[in-house]
Amino acid sequence: SHGQDSENYEVQARDGVTTALELEVGVGDVDEWYDDREGNTLTNFGASAGHIPVRMQVMNDPGAFLPVADAAHREASESELEEIKAGVERGLQRGALAVGFGLDYTRGCSRWEVLEIFRIAAKYEASCHVHLRGKGHKEPMSSIEATGEVIAASAISGAPLHIVHIQSTGMHATRQTLQMVAEAQERGLDVTTECYPYTAGMTAIDSALFDEGWQDKYGIDYDKLQWVDTGERLNASTFAQYRETGGMVIVHSTPEDAVNAAVLSPLTAIA
């Protein structure tokens, strides 16, 4: 759950949730994050060591929750990669439950960087919870290619892999990505996945997900974007305005058949 504040904890508790874990994006400073919540939450809590926030710290990215500058778009130098690795490892040493990745938000991240962080996770027998780098069925950077990237990283490093919300990244290729997970399991790899049962998701409008070409990639236009604060559907003008100011947007992009395939699959947990 990305909802890790008092308001969200209250809603979760009223819904019967007893434990809320931030495992996908994760956190940068594990000690500070735990200290802020100790004795102040209505639910149990925990977090991963987040590749995104650590990368943002190392690369001085000005984004709040998600990167908007170098951490999103630039490959790390050798020295930066060493700092990123050290930051993730420090988080695991300080009590992080896993390692979190949002590879679609850090598109400048090299495949080698991903593998290096998987190796850190394997060292501590920690699982890797990954928002895939690609989306949908169109190449390049389809969800099929992206699923292959992280299954390979798991196989090479030995770190368990959990692919998050497989229906929202799989889209029209969800059945194929689920098949890849099943076949990886058949060959003895520790690979799991989950989904949420909705055709919409929510993310930051100023993130890398809306870099040039997003309409063709996702097969949607501005009217499939809904501004959270007002409920309005966007157009070219309001998209440009809100992309400049930043904020959360609801994205109506997941095909219903993708949701059905994921929810009905015996492979998926419901997140």
| Domain ranges in the chain with CATH number 3.20.20.140 | 6-200+255-270
CATH T-level assignment (fold) for domain 6-200+255-270: TIM Barrel (3.20.20)
pLDDT for the residue 236: 98
Give the global pTM. 0.96
pLDDT for the residue 125: 98
pLDDT for the residue 1: 87
pLDDT for the residue 246: 96
pLDDT for the residue 3: 87
pLDDT in tens, the chain (271 residues): 888 988 999 999 999 999 999 999 999 999 999 999 999 999 999 999 999 999 999 999 999 999 999 999 999 999 999 999 999 999 999 999 999 999 999 999 999 999 999 999 999 999 999 999 999 999 999 999 999 999 999 999 999 999 999 999 999 999 999 999 999 999 999 999 999 999 999 999 999 999 999 999 999 999 999 999 999 999 999 999 999 999 999 999 999 999 999 999 999 999 8
CA distance 112 to 190: 21
CA distance 68 to 265: 35
pLDDT for the residue 256: 98
pLDDT for the residue 82: 99
pLDDT for the residue 113: 99
**Three-state secondary structure along the chain?**
CCCCCHHHHHHHHHCCCCEEEEEEEEECCHHHHHHHHCCCCCCEEEEEEEHHHHHHHHCCCCCCCCCCCHHHHCCCCHHHHHHHHHHHHHHHHCCCCCEEEECCCCCCCCHHHHHHHHHHHHHCCCCEEEECCCCCCCCCCCHHHHHHHHHHHHHHHCCCEEECCHHHHHHHHHHHHHHHHHHHHHCCCCEEEEECCCCEEEEECCCHHHCCCHHHHHCCCHHHEEECCCCCECCHHHHHHHHHHCCEEEEECCCHHHHHHHHHCCCEEEC
CA distance 7 to 41: 10
